[in-house]
Amino acid sequence: MILPLLPLKVASRRHSVFLAQMASVCGALLLAVFVIIAWKPHPAVAQQMVSQELSVLRVNTLLWKIDGKGLKAPSYLFGTIHLICEEDVVISKATRRAFAATRQLAMEIDMGNAGETDMLGMLDKGAMMRGDTTLEMLLDTADMGLITSFFQDSLGMPFMPPMNRIKPMFLSTMLLQGEQDCEQTSYEEEFVALARRQKKPTLGIETTEQQLALFDYLSYKEQAAMLVSDLKSSMTPMAASGSAPDMTLQSVTELYKQGKITELLETLRSEEASAFEDVLLNNRNRAWIPIIEAMIQKKATFIAVGAGHLAGEQGVVHLLRKQGYRLTPMK
């Protein structure tokens, strides 16, 4: 069971919220990869990134209207964040109108029809390292002690033996959750609730199994090293390290709330992250386009996917435009 392994403030929430949190773990993991490996680039590298981005579509809004190419009714694209404090969730009037005007809700995975037993089974299977590999095999004694102490002292839970076999990237997500002292939710959860009230069907663009498989791209050794690096960074004051502050969930949330999606990607992007960006964003974006096209040609659809998928030359906004659709930013 995953439930005992989550922070206590999440585990204590009501049953329906728990299911939605379970379904958002995959998305939170995708966010975790970029937050964990983000670094402050050298000014020359940063300038090069900015110059390159000038020729790329900038995305500075969360809601987009999709029409043209023979669509009988417009669909809408919304960029979500998979992990956010409840008080930071704001669904604008324009977003609510767009949602009401559509006939179905599409998300990265279908959270509306996910059964708790099936979801827990998939997460249990996908969260565990293969064979007899344990975290202790991947780390030295000092780093292992650092992790067990953090879980006990900061998250208020002992690092129990079953946790030793969880993929390090799943543990990294728990560190992100622990950064904010609040009740956490996701936009997907809010949209599923709206869909149920309005009796709209829900769909998934990809499966939970497909998302979980993405993390096999990283070796367990790489995941473990990133986990320790992120933990040490979070425990080192900026003044003591003499370096710029690392990207945190809070700073990601602030950029998201302002709709600065391109800026967010620029901040997180690095040479080290470029390979992960192809696997976690670009390749998936290209695979999504024919699926999204089939959905919106059939019915007016409200599409809610992680905001990072919207921006750039390989972003969903630009890729749909290349297919002949008209995408208009909505405020």
In the predicted model, what is the mean pLDDT of residues 261-280? Answer: 71
Q: Is the pLDDT of residue 310 over 80?
A: yes
Residues 6+ apart with CB under 8 A from 197: none
Query: Which is more confidently placed, 259 or 301?
Result: 301
For 116-164, write each residue's pLDDT tens digit: 556 566 666 678 898 899 999 999 999 999 999 988 887 778 888 888 9
pLDDT band at 326 (very low <50, low <70, confident <90, very high): very high
In the predicted model, what is the mean pLDDT of residues 36-65? Answer: 55
Q: What is the pLDDT of residue 224?
A: 92
Q: Which residues of 177-209 are buried (b: 16+ CB within 10 A; e: fewer)?
A: bbebeeebbbbbbbbbebbeeeebebbbbbebe
In the predicted model, what is the mean pLDDT of residues 163-184? Answer: 77
In the predicted model, what is the mean pLDDT of residues 191-207? Answer: 95
Q: Is the pLDDT of residue 53 over 60?
A: no
Q: What is the pLDDT of residue 123?
A: 65
Q: What is the pLDDT of residue 245?
A: 44
Crossing angle (nearest 10°) for helices 168-178 and 220-234: 20
Q: What is the pLDDT of residue 27?
A: 53
Q: Is the pLDDT of residue 293 over 80?
A: yes
* 84's tokens: 């956010």
Cα 240 from Cα 242, distance rounded (Å): 6
Q: What is the pLDDT of residue 171?
A: 84
Place of tokens 């998302």: 211
**Highest mean predicted confidence (pLDDT) among 30-39, 44-53, 127-136:** 127-136
Q: What is the pLDDT of residue 49?
A: 44
Amino acid at 239: A
Query: Which is more confidently placed, 262 or 46?
Result: 262
User: Rounded to the nearest 5 degrees, what angle is found at the Cα of 64, between the Cα atoms of 62 and 70?
Assistant: 165
Task: Detail the DSSP E strand segments found in 53-130.
Answer: 63-67, 75-80, 84-85, 104-107
Q: What is the pLDDT of residue 176?
A: 65
Residues 6+ apart with CB under 8 A from 125: none
pLDDT band at 285 (very low <50, low <70, confident <90, very high): very high
Cα 15 from Cα 174, distance rounded (Å): 19
For 59-107, write each residue's pLDDT tens digit: 789 999 999 999 999 999 999 987 788 888 889 999 999 999 999 999 9
Quote helix, strand, coil % in the chain, to nearest 5. Answer: 55, 10, 30
Query: Which is more confidently placed, 245 or 220?
Result: 220
Q: What is the pLDDT of residue 323?
A: 97
Q: Is the pLDDT of residue 275 over 70?
A: no
For 241-264, write each residue's pLDDT tens digit: 444 444 566 777 888 888 888 887
Query: Which is more confidently placed, 153 or 50?
Result: 153
pLDDT band at 309 (very low <50, low <70, confident <90, very high): very high
In the predicted model, what is the mean pLDDT of residues 107-112? Answer: 89
Cα 37 from Cα 142, distance rounded (Å): 21
* 167's tokens: 């993929």
Q: What is the pLDDT of residue 290?
A: 98
Alpha-carbon dihedral angle through residues 97, 101, 103, 107, given to the nearest 10 degrees: -40
Query: Which is more confidently placed, 297 or 85?
Result: 297
| Alpha-carbon separation of residue 152 from 7, 41, 299 (angstroms) | 11, 34, 49
Query: Which is more confidently placed, 323 or 278?
Result: 323
**Highest mean predicted confidence (pLDDT) among 30-34, 44-48, 120-124, 205-209:** 205-209
